[in-house]
Structure 1
């Protein structure tokens, strides 16, 4: 029996899945498959029957039969529901209605119209004229005087209660008081407020003319003189000084600093290249040679020794486990996970061909 190299649980299925899947497959094979086959046969048979039997039968047999039955039912329905009512309407109700209309027209023309004309001409019109004459007489000789008296009394009461008191109040109280107040206001305005206002205006004009205007002119002249004889010369001198300082001092100094910075950069680059070359000659190249010709071979030797020792330890451990526990020796889960299920590490070249435990035994 060879060593099992596949880790347990890698893509396998549990016993519960197998127990459930096998009965389901058996039921599907015994029950579902026959039912589906029968269903497909019935569907195919139905399509063929509809296409080759029911279609021509409905065109050449069912449609003429149904058409004849429809015509018979139409005639029966007309015979039962249409023709009796049409005959009743045409031969009974229409003549009866025409006779009733003729009788009613004759009754209206021969009886009701003369009776209406007689009642209107000899009863209602004289009664209306009498009532109208009585109404006109009552309005003219009774209601009109009463209405005029009521209007006169209402006018007198309205004037007494609502007009004359307010007219008297306006005429004898408010109008004299208003005229007195108006005269007093005009007098105060004419002889008090007007002189005071004129005095304030003259005072303001005098203050502006003899105080504010000279002060303003003096301040304006002072500002102009200060700008012309002090600020402008000072500003021009400062501008000339700044221009001269920039042109003859700052610009040459800046150019000299830029040239010095450029030269210093070249010197620093040259020094850095020299330092880097010296460092490579003194440190880098010897270190590279030591790594290439000393450390790399030593590392390869150590790696080969370590692989050999690890392989030997694994084989001894597997032999011990087989001797103690029995059964085929298997690689531990940790090593198997690290080497993806192989018997050697990643990139390891086995020194001997793989053999089974059976061949070793």
Structure 2
């Protein structure tokens, strides 16, 4: 028996394909065809109107009218807002400004400058020289002696009020008191503070020599003896006990725990493999059987229904296009597919997925 079953050469389809194709063609002819015809007619009418009516109307009527309107609006704006100000500036303000500038320059050159030179030469300069001569004479013969007398008076008053009282206070009061205080401080340092300091130093040396030093030596000896005869033996005993505990207790217990952990891991792995096997038997294998023998054929049937409906719609469109425009029908893409090693077109229905065991059975 051949493994590759192909459709008949005449392109015949099964019963299911015929049952689905006929209603689809009816719907395509009754619904799709009128809508498509109306759409094509509207599109053709729109293109014709744009080509023969709207385009020439815009090019020959609206575009010149809009250009003329833009030029008129621009000219009106210039006439109202630009040209009056340009004319005012060019023919009124500029000549008036030039005339005022010429008048100002003439008045300065022929009137203000000569008057200023005459006034400065014959009036202001002599007047300034006279005032300067009067000021120098008054300063020399009147203000200078007066300033000298005022300065001497202020110096004497300042010395009397601010200098001589402080000098007398320092000379007759603060200096003797300071010398007395210095003599008393020197005497107190020599006859009181020095003997007291020597006594305190001798006392400190004696306390260190006869009290602190023996106490310190005794404390050091006590610490050394405590370390040598108590802490060191106890530490060595603790170290020996810890080493023995590690060697004879912790190491065997650790080895036992590691072996138990390894055995528990193997047991857990065996349990996990058993659970996986049970899950496959209870869930995985039934699900694979359902997918292979139920869902896969149903999916193939749905795919065939969809392909058949789509092919029917394509054929209806091709028939409508041929009827309206006379174009030859386009061969569907599925009819151009070729099977491997064959020159005939492959059908829509794929080869049934039947194992060799089922075919032989």
Work out which of the two has the higher radius of gyration on C-alpha atoms and give 1 or 2.
Answer: 1
> Does 1 or 2 have the higher relative contact order (CA < 8 Å, sep 6+)?
1
TM-score range, shorter chain: 0.3 to 0.5
TM (norm. structure 1) is 0.46
TM (norm. structure 2) is 0.46
